[in-house]
Structure 1
Amino acid sequence: MPDFTVREYGFIGVEYAGCVQDEPNHIYVSLSAFDHLCELSASFSKQGAKVFELAGRKKLKLDQYVGVIETPCGTRIEILPKHVDIQGDDKQEIIQQERQLLQKMLSVSLHLPYREAGAASLNRFKQPLHEWIISQFLAAFETLLQRGLRFDYNRVQEEQKYLRGQLQHVKYMRQPPTKKHIFPIEQDVYELNRPENRLIKTALEIVCKKTKTSANWRLAQELRLMTGEIPKSLNIVQDFKLWQSGRLLALYEEIKPWTELILGQYMPVSTQGDWRGMSLLFPMERLFEHYVAYHLGRELKDWHVRTQVSSQHICLYDQQPMFRLRPDLYIEHKEIRKKIVLDTKWKLLDQSDRAGRFGLKDGDIQQMFAYSHFYLQHQSDVILIYPYRAQKFNQDVCFDFNLESSKAKLKVAPFNLDNPADTLNEMFKDYPTPISSVIEL
């Protein structure tokens, strides 16, 4: 079955004779794949997660989730973030840029040991998301094999014609005379059968079945032959709980998150027992929040950066606090004790649309007013961060609160996802903090 690529907020319809598949905002899949997506939509809606929205009898509209969905018929749908407008014939270039952006944001949010550098590696950005994850897993596994897998002692009970280890006397005495030459023994065997290796082997078996690129398939088969003595995991959840860390297993730290991605199969809600294939879905709102928080902590050396602070509440009931306020980011200068509250929103704004208030929502502004009142007493600024858009949202929009005692301002700032260092230099140019020069991820 073919693979499809669509952008968030795009449409998925049922294919028909003569339909064109080169539109990244609207794709057409088989009827069996569409029916499966409708079933997924119903199951997600019951759990409160909005991934799809019906837009007609034979059409679904995507929401703010990105990633990969695989259907039982073999159809794979890659969903990419939408942060730039497609103009003219630059569709493939935009898709590659969005794929590269998603890979960076996932690497930051999931703490993946992602390292890509040089012109030769740029071709990897052309791979669909699932093939990129598979290639990263295989590269980490190949490195691990070169450095050496870890063995462990396992207690084994078996019957042999020789004595080795500990004889199980009770079993031996109860054997019939015809089996007196067979010894039930118990021994510790030094072997590769340990939880970490079992999970990696299970992930490798999935990769061998799911990959569609020749390079990944060839490397996966080679690794499979080299690890034939390792059994697959019979209880993935339990083996992940038994995964050890420490100096002796430091080599396994790099491959663990890739193994979790392949075996854990990130989905917005639990669908245990149902078909999931190699399906991975991530909310863009959270990915954007983690991406901004990561670069703030990396660039602002003179500030303490905290996420999801929840020390303030709006109301009291019987002297008990209720309705917690939880801003995305709370930063405080280490020397002058200046504080700033920041909130991230994954939405495309347009500075020219003044009649529509630039695309800002009343609820978001009211939320920032509450943050300013309870966390800063209107003595310091609050900042709303939206994605940067060339020629549409590339400058700060500054508002004054309609409050006489307020010294605070509400800034709506663009965040350039491709150049976060320059963005933070511009955003904090009026505040007393140096921005460190760093190498981009």
Structure 2
Amino acid sequence: MALRSLVTVREFARLTTGTVQPTLDQASVSDSAFDYLCRLAGGFRSNGATLLQVESRQWLRLDGYVGVIETPCGTTVEILPKHVDGLGEHVVEDARALLRKLLGRALDLPVREVGEAAIERFDFPLTEWVMNRFLLALERVVRRGVRSDYVRVEETQRFLRGRLDLTRQLRQPPGRDHIFNIRHDVYLHDRPENRLLKSALKKVCDCSEHPDNWRLARELSALFVEVPRSTDAVSDFRAWRSDRLMAHYADARPWCELVLGQQMPLSLAGLTHGLSFMFAMDRLFERTVANSLRSSLHSDTRLIEQSTRHSLCTHLGGKKFTLKPDMLVEAAGRQSIVLDAKWKMIDESLMDKHYGLAQADFYQLFAYAHKYQGGKGDLALIYPRTEFFTRPLAPFQLGTGLNLWVLPFDLEAEIVLWPEEGSASGFLPLSGRAPGLPVYRRA
């Protein structure tokens, strides 16, 4: 087994095979890991995504993806969000905590914090946290009972059991009249849900290095000895039942999907080794904002993600260039509202440089407003809140009756900071102005 090494960096960091002072923005990896990352980037590129850029024969620059990649040579590359700035050991811990929160919110992972604080404090990469959550969810399944199911068995025996298969029995050659072709059902743990859990458990046993995870994984493995591993994860996940008898399996499923690579935005099957998962940071941020807004809207209000209702133009009777806003909010008797979330750090003090905002984003929102809102009303761009962006900016007027708001999203509280009362604070049908839904009042 190859000796494992951990390299922790963040988005847009540079990797090299040479000797450099390791920081979150640059690190050194082995030649084999460097070559493997180049090959992996080719697989991403074939799916229309960019994992990294090759700057030279000695340097790679990562793109806007976060997660963990394990290489065949034993190198683990952990890529964290770039939102947390500063120096010191707390930066890595804070960045890991932020990524855990974003994954839990964006993927609707059932995270239980009560009584499980120890795993939050240890200085291990994200993979150990994922494996720990899976093991704890699996342990709860075991405590409430591993479900069995009837499996049809067709075999030949010297005794009768179940039903006799008359067709096969009549076709037997002479001299085998004492052998019976039978069909019967056996009550076994061999069912799709248990096969998937066994496959994920085997992967955790092979990958985990944290002593608590290692011990718990082997304790649970002893209870799944008779369960075979899944040979077709996609089909088994389709067959996963969610009825009343299987309700206690629900919390384990998303963690099982993450361990087995079924939560991937891109197919990494056959491309990575060990427990690897990569997510586009902008997509994680979009999902986090959308889930936060969905929980704060009126019950009669609908939030649609990635709507494809309108296109930029038509040509020869067909739609061309689909317009897909991140979020579209609709409510009875109200105008539709378009919101777009951007994982980018802006600075409210740089007014002469447009606060770091991109002109292309404004063109994009302008097109959305004219197609989805009829060219009037309010729409918003949402960026992560930082020490340089703490308050909503004054509205940008895109035309008569059309205002674009730039709003901060507090990643700690998972809430959007809205403009002052009397301006655009009511342009969304929110369920209330509770403490969790603050309104920023400018001086």
Both proteins in one fold, TM over 0.5: yes
SS at match of 1:69: strand
Q: For the residues of structure 1 that align with 2:116 and 2:167, how far apart are their CA atoms? A: 68
* Residue aligning to 1:329: 327
SS at match of 1:56: coil
Residue 174 of structure 1 and its aligned partner are, at CA, apart by 5.7
Instruction: Specify which of 167, 185, 188 is matched with residue 185 of structure 2.
Output: 188
Residue 216 of structure 2 aligns to which amino acid in structure 1?
L
SS at match of 1:223: helix
Per mean C-alpha deviation after superposition, the further-off stretch among 286-295 and 98-107 is: 98-107
Structure 1 gap ranges (5+): none
4+ aligned runs moved over 6 Å, structure 1? none
SS at match of 1:144: helix
Whether the aligned pair in 2 keeps the contact of 1:299 and 1:436 (CA below 8 Å) is no
* Residue aligning to 1:138: 135
The aligned runs of 1:45-60 (5 Å cut-off) are: 45-60=45-60
Q: Deviations over 1:64-84 (max 9, x none)?
A: 111111111121111111113
Per mean C-alpha deviation after superposition, the further-off stretch among 68-77 and 235-244 is: 235-244
Distance 1:275 1:281, change over 3 A: closer
* Residue aligning to 1:284: 281
Residue 10 of structure 1 and its aligned partner are, at CA, apart by 0.9
* Residue aligning to 1:14: 17
* Residue aligning to 1:128: 125
Structure 2 gap ranges (5+): 438-443
Does residue 416 of the first structure (1) align with residue 416 of the second (2)? no
The aligned runs of 1:257-406 (5 Å cut-off) are: 257-264=254-261, 266-301=263-298, 303-332=301-330, 337-390=334-387, 392-401=388-397, 403=399, 406=400
Distance 1:65 1:34, change over 3 A: same
The aligned runs of 1:29-178 (5 Å cut-off) are: 29-87=29-87, 90=88, 92-117=89-114, 120-121=117-118, 123-124=120-121, 126-169=123-166, 171-172=168-169
Q: Deviations over 1:151-190 (max 9, x none)?
A: 1111112233332222345555665677655433221111
Whether the aligned pair in 1 keeps the contact of 2:69 and 2:272 (CA below 8 Å) is no
SS at match of 1:381: strand
SS at match of 2:279: strand
Q: For the residues of structure 2 that align with 1:275 and 1:297, how far apart are their CA atoms? A: 34
* Residue aligning to 1:246: 243
Q: For the residues of structure 1 that align with 2:103 and 2:253, how far apart are their CA atoms? A: 15
Q: Deviations over 1:354-387 (max 9, x none)?
A: 3432221111111112222222234312211111
Q: Deviations over 1:329-371 (max 9, x none)?
A: 2224556x25432111111112233343222111111111222
Kindly report the root-mean-square deviation, in angstroms, between the aligned alpha carbons of the 2 structures: 2.5
Whether the aligned pair in 1 keeps the contact of 2:134 and 2:252 (CA below 8 Å) is yes
Q: For the residues of structure 2 that align with 1:274 and 1:130, how far apart are their CA atoms? A: 17
Q: For the residues of structure 1 that align with 2:192 and 2:116, how far apart are their CA atoms? A: 37
Q: For the residues of structure 1 that align with 2:224 and 2:373, how far apart are their CA atoms? A: 58
Residue 227 of structure 1 aligns to which amino acid in structure 2?
F
SS at match of 2:66: strand
Residue 15 of structure 1 and its aligned partner are, at CA, apart by 4.7
Whether the aligned pair in 2 keeps the contact of 1:124 and 1:132 (CA below 8 Å) is no
Residue 244 of structure 1 and its aligned partner are, at CA, apart by 1.8
What percent of counterpart residues are identical? 41
Residue 326 of structure 1 aligns to which amino acid in structure 2?
K
Q: For the residues of structure 1 that align with 2:287 and 2:117, how far apart are their CA atoms? A: 28
SS at match of 2:337: strand
Q: For the residues of structure 1 that align with 2:327 and 2:216, how far apart are their CA atoms? A: 42
Q: For the residues of structure 2 that align with 1:428 and 1:37, how far apart are their CA atoms? A: 50
SS at match of 1:206: helix
Whether the aligned pair in 2 keeps the contact of 1:162 and 1:183 (CA below 8 Å) is yes
SS at match of 1:229: coil
Residue 114 of structure 1 aligns to which amino acid in structure 2?
V
* Residue aligning to 1:407: 401
The size of the alignment, in residue pairs, is: 428
Whether the aligned pair in 2 keeps the contact of 1:195 and 1:239 (CA below 8 Å) is yes
Q: Deviations over 1:71-111 (max 9, x none)?
A: 11121111111113224xx3x21221221121121112222
Does residue 4 of the first structure (1) align with residue 7 of the second (2)? yes
SS at match of 1:316: strand
Whether the aligned pair in 2 keeps the contact of 1:265 and 1:280 (CA below 8 Å) is no
